[in-house]
Amino acid sequence: MRQRKVKNEAERLAALEEYMIREAIELKGRWNDYLRQMNQGFKRSIFLELGCGRGHFLVAHAEQNPEDFYIGAEGRSSIVLRALELIQENKLLNALCIPDYIENIEDYFAEDELSGIYLNFSDPWPKARHAKRRLTHRRYLEGYKRVLKRGSFIEIKTDNDDFFNFTLEECYACGLTIKEHTQDLHKTNLSARLITTQYEERFRLLKKSINYCKIMI
């Protein structure tokens, strides 16, 4: 998808450098030390949102859990700009963004470095020949398993039914435990309904059901 031009984008991004992790690959294996240097209030766990969009979901979690750290990865510069501005606006010390697409999570994180991964409305890549590009394909799931601590989770939300069914099949193929799953999140009492993305709010207004699952590692 072609990015929409944003006025003064380069200058605005430059002013938000302190909220970006430019050389994230170099932090593999030492994220805890790095984040404690950034924020002495960080005491617990690190969570990653792959494709954080404009940052509403990321920021909401960071606000509610000040002792945890939330990292968003987003490769579209005009979009990550909005997330960075939102982090700054809310004066958060426990949220940062990696301004990049993460293709191989093991290039960025070592074994057991993360406590949770969020995949919200990932590109479904609907054509069968593109199945390996889906972020819930088994080749990605195996990488997530290695960088997540035991007892950690992957949470997935999508409006695409085919993508959701594919995801469940891939989880079973990888021997992963699906703790929670539903095809209509906002008709349940699951806590995942309480913090939403902008896409999610839009779909709710359109009365579009949201597929959700929580996978335990």
Tell me the C-alpha to C-alpha distance, in Å, between residue 172 and each of 111, 137, 154, 216: 22, 11, 14, 12
Q: What contacts 158, CB < 8 A, 6 or more positions away?
A: 121, 122, 124, 164, 167, 210, 211
In the annotation, is 123 catalytic? yes
Q: What contacts 91, CB < 8 A, 6 or more positions away?
A: none
| Collapsed DSSP state (helix, strand, coil) of residue 72 | strand
The residue from 123, 159, 162, 184 that is catalytic is: 123
Quickly name the fold that domain 9-216 has: Rossmann fold (3.40.50)
More confident residue, 88 or 40: 88
Q: What average pLDDT score do residues 93-99 get?
A: 96
pLDDT of residue 39: 85
Tell me the C-alpha to C-alpha distance, in Å, between residue 141 and each of 135, 150, 172: 8, 14, 11
Q: What contacts 108, CB < 8 A, 6 or more positions away?
A: 24, 25, 27, 28, 98, 102
pTM metric for this prediction: 0.94
Q: What average pLDDT score do residues 45-52 get?
A: 97
Q: In whole angstroms, give the CA distance from residue 217 to residue 214.
A: 10
Q: What average pLDDT score do residues 34-46 get?
A: 89
- Average pLDDT of every residue of the chain: 94
Report whether pLDDT(80) > 70.
yes
Q: What average pLDDT score do residues 91-104 get?
A: 95
Ranges 1-10, 140-149, 150-159: which has the least confidence = 1-10
Tell me the per-residue pLDDT of 194-215, one tens digit each, with 9 for 90 and over: 999 998 999 888 889 999 999 9
